[in-house]
């Protein structure tokens, strides 16, 4: 499962991130935000007992890092492209695993 958190409220974002990390079971958990928001969230999440291994699974900011624009349409396309690239990489990895298992 891939989770994407895109609310207008930092407190709600934090609650959703915390619940998502606690529940696990996802291949990707992304939250819209800046590097500053990420740093604040990581600090709070560590205080709440989340390990670095769990926190490494959180993606913030989301999208392609090469695109620096803050325009909503650029962010939307960037996030969609990033998710498609991740899905494709997962598919290739899965297909390679099946090919190796059949040898």
Where does 1-62 sit in CATH, by number? 3.40.50.720
pLDDT tens-digit profile of 13-56? Answer: 999 999 999 998 888 999 999 999 999 999 999 999 999 999 99
13-24 per-position pLDDT tens digit: 999 999 999 998
Res 63: pLDDT: 95
Domain ranges of the chain: 1-62, 63-103
41 exposure class (CB count in 10 Å sphere: 0-12, 13-18, 19+): buried
Structure tokens at 96: 């390679």
- Residue 4 backbone class (left: φ over 0; alpha: ψ -120 to 50; beta: rest): beta
**Cα–Cα distance, 13 to 97 (Å, whole number):** 35
pLDDT at 96: 78
Residue 75 has pLDDT above 70, yes or no: yes
């Amino acid at each position: 499962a891939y989770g994407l958190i895109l609310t207008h409220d930092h407190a709600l974002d934090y609650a959703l991130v915390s619940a998502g990390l606690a529940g696990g079971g996802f291949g990707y958990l992304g939250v819209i935000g800046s590097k500053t928001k990420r740093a604040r969230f990581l600090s709070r999440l560590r205080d709440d007992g989340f390990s670095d291994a769990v926190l490494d699974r959180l993606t913030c900011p989301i999208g392609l890092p090469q695109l620096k624009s803050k325009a909503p349409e650029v962010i939307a396309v960037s996030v969609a492209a990033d998710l498609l690239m991740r899905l494709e990489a997962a598919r290739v990895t899965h297909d390679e695993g099946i090919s190796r298992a059949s040898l």
